[in-house]
């Protein structure tokens, strides 16, 4: 019995000792707010750009055909070469046309001799009218014969001119500067106007680039540039099929007067230089150029003057099923979710068209530790982020490449 009373006393004394020990019963301290790196929203200049699929077309295209029927004697050009206006292309058989021209000239000479005799007869009859032997009827007949011969001489001279034209058609020359294709007819064959195209010549510099624009884009572009100069407010840049950017800049010069009903697009055309790639010091007939007639390219329609837009680091942009958003440090250092709309952006900088204001503090580092409404400890973002933002403000007329929306995953998506 005394043993039990002693045991109870010891347990009671132990409980009292534990109750009076603060180290055992003290509650754990709350963790401090997460530290995050923030950047202020800044303005950056960008060149607005719209991307379309286009095709290169030659400004001038000529299908060379024969104008007379004759044997093809010679081909005088190198296939695929660049030629100048007036360069000889084909030589047709000339003999029959030269003989025909000589015969027509002889006929003119004969008629002119007859006309000279008729003129003398007319003058003689006019002299006789003043004497008793003269008759008015004879004089009238002489005048009529003279005029008839004059008309025959004119007709014969026209035949000479036609024969000369046909003879000239045996010498086929280039009507334009450009690159000539392969020949469809070889020497020794008979060619005629019904033979079809002998070869094709396409001009090289400048070139057309044509591309369709959806009507919705047409309305947007008109609202954006109509008051800034229309065609002169934009320039054309090209991306070649291998992904390289073409170095020359083009300009718009035409828009179709009607919408293509099958595609609901408006056909637009511009011109762009196509100079030789290398100086042709060897005198070779073929010159290398970047653009080809019929080539598919990507057309970038860019504004001449850059515009100022709000910018944040691309890494600060999150996305979910509802769209893009960023986390902003609000009142009392609480994280606030802001829904945004992105404009044309790059891989490192996101242009924001709606949802942010200049000077807002956007969380760019430590996003994985932040939830909306949570108190955070803001501080300047790291050197790399700050450098990106500084470069954005000094970007000048840098043309951004379109990038997909939502540059980073949401915290939920990263779990």
Q: Does the pLDDT at position 189 exceed 90?
A: yes
Q: Which CATH architecture describes the domain 51-59+203-278+288-303?
A: Beta Barrel (2.40)
* pLDDT of amino acid 64: 95
**Of 62 and 313, the one with more pLDDT:** 62
* pLDDT of amino acid 413: 39
Q: What percent of the chain has pLDDT over 90?
A: 41
| Average predicted confidence (pLDDT) for the chain | 82
Q: In the predicted model, what is the mean pLDDT of residues 281-301?
A: 83
Where in the sequence of the chain do the CATH 2.40.50.100 domains occur?
A: 65-91+172-201
* pLDDT of amino acid 134: 62
Q: Return the ∠ at Cα 46 (arms to 223 and 389), rounded to 5°.
A: 145
Where in the sequence of the chain do the CATH 1.10.287 domains occur?
A: 95-169
What band does 26 get if pLDDT is binned at 50, 70 and 90? Answer: low
**Of 398 and 76, the one with more pLDDT:** 76
pTM of this prediction exceeds 0.85: no
Q: 35-46+308-393 maps to which CATH number?
A: 2.40.420.20
According to the per-residue pLDDT averaged within each range, which of 165-169, 324-328, 379-383 is highest?
A: 165-169
The whole-angstrom separation of Cα 161 and Cα 221 is: 56
The residue assigned the tokens 């100022």 is 308
* pLDDT of amino acid 9: 56
Which range has the worst mean pLDDT, 14-28, 83-97, 204-218? Answer: 14-28
**Of 229 and 272, the one with more pLDDT:** 272
Q: Which CATH number fits domain 95-169: 2.60.40, 3.30.499, 1.10.287, 1.20.120?
A: 1.10.287
What band does 335 get if pLDDT is binned at 50, 70 and 90? Answer: confident
* pLDDT of amino acid 411: 41
Q: Which of 215, 303, 275, 241 is nearest to 53 (CA)?
A: 241
* pLDDT of amino acid 298: 93
* pLDDT of amino acid 28: 60
Which range has the worst mean pLDDT, 2-16, 97-111, 256-270, 299-313? Answer: 2-16
Where in the sequence of the chain do the CATH 2.40.30.170 domains occur?
A: 51-59+203-278+288-303
Q: Does the pLDDT at position 404 exceed 50?
A: no
DSSP state letter for 316: G
* pLDDT of amino acid 213: 93
**Assigned token pair, 221:** 């572009």
* pLDDT of amino acid 27: 56
Q: In the predicted model, what is the mean pLDDT of residues 109-131?
A: 85
* pLDDT of amino acid 400: 41
The whole-angstrom separation of Cα 33 and Cα 334 is: 10
Buried b (16+ CB within 10 A) or exposed e, 19-58: eeeeeeeeeeeeeebbebbbbebbebbbbbbbbbebebbb
Q: In the predicted model, what is the mean pLDDT of residues 67-80?
A: 93
**Assigned token pair, 52:** 């379309």
What are the residues whose beta carbons fall under 8 Å from the beta carbon of 83, sequence distance 6 or more? Answer: 77, 89, 174, 177, 178, 179, 180, 201, 285
Chain segment 355-390, per-residue pLDDT in tens: 888 888 888 888 888 888 888 888 887 777 777 676
Q: 65-91+172-201 maps to which CATH number?
A: 2.40.50.100
Measured N-to-C along each axis, helices 136-168 and 95-128 cross at an angle, to the nearest 10 degrees, of 160
* pLDDT of amino acid 295: 93
**Of 123 and 129, the one with more pLDDT:** 123
């Amino acid at each position: 019995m005394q043993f039990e009373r002693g045991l109870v006393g010891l347990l009671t004394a132990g409980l009292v000792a534990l109750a009076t020990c603060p180290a055992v019963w003290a509650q754990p301290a709350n963790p401090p707010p997460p530290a995050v790196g923030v950047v202020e929203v800044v303005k950056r200049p960008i060149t607005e750009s719209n991307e379309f699929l286009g095709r290169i077309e030659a400004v001038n295209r000529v299908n060379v055909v024969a104008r007379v029927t004759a044997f093809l004697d010679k081909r005088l050009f190198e296939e695929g070469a660049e030629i100048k206006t007036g360069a000889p292309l084909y030589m047709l058989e000339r003999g029959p046309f030269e003989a025909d021209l000589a015969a027509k000239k002889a006929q003119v000479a004969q008629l002119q001799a007859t006309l000279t005799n008729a003129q003398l007869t007319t003058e003689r009859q006019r002299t006789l009218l003043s004497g008793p032997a003269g008759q008015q009827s004879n004089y009238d007949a002489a005048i009529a014969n003279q005029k008839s011969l004059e008309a025959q001489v004119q007709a014969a001279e026209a035949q000479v001119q036609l024969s000369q034209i046909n003879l000239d058609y045996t010498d086929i020359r280039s009507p334009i500067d450009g690159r000539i294709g392969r020949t469809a007819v070889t020497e020794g064959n008979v060619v005629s106007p019904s033979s079809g195209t002998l070869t094709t010549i396409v001009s090289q510099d400048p070139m057309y680039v044509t591309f369709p624009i959806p009507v919705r884009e047409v309305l947007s572009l008109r609202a954006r540039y109509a008051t800034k100069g229309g065609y002169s407010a934009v320039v054309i840049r090209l991306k070649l099929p291998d992904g390289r950017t073409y170095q020359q800049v083009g300009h718009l010069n035409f828009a179709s007067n009607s919408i293509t009903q099958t595609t609901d697009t408006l056909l637009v055309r511009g011109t762009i230089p196509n100079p030789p790639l290398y100086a042709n010091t060897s005198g070779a007939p073929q010159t290398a150029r970047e653009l080809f007639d019929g080539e598919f390219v990507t057309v970038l329609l860019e504004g001449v003057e850059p515009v100022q837009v709000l910018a944040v680091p691309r890494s600060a942009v999150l996305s979910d099923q509802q769209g893009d958003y960023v986390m902003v440090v609000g009142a009392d250092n609480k994280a606030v979710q802001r829904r945004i709309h992105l404009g044309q952006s790059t891989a490192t900088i996101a242009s924001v068209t709606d949802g942010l204001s200049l000077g807002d503090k956007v969380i760019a580092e430590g996003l994985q530790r932040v939830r909306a409404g949570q108190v955070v400890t803001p501080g300047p973002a790291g050197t790399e982020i700050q450098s990106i933002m500084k470069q954005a403000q000094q970007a000048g007329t840098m043309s951004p490449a379109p990038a997909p929306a939502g540059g980073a995953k949401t915290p939920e998506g990263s779990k």
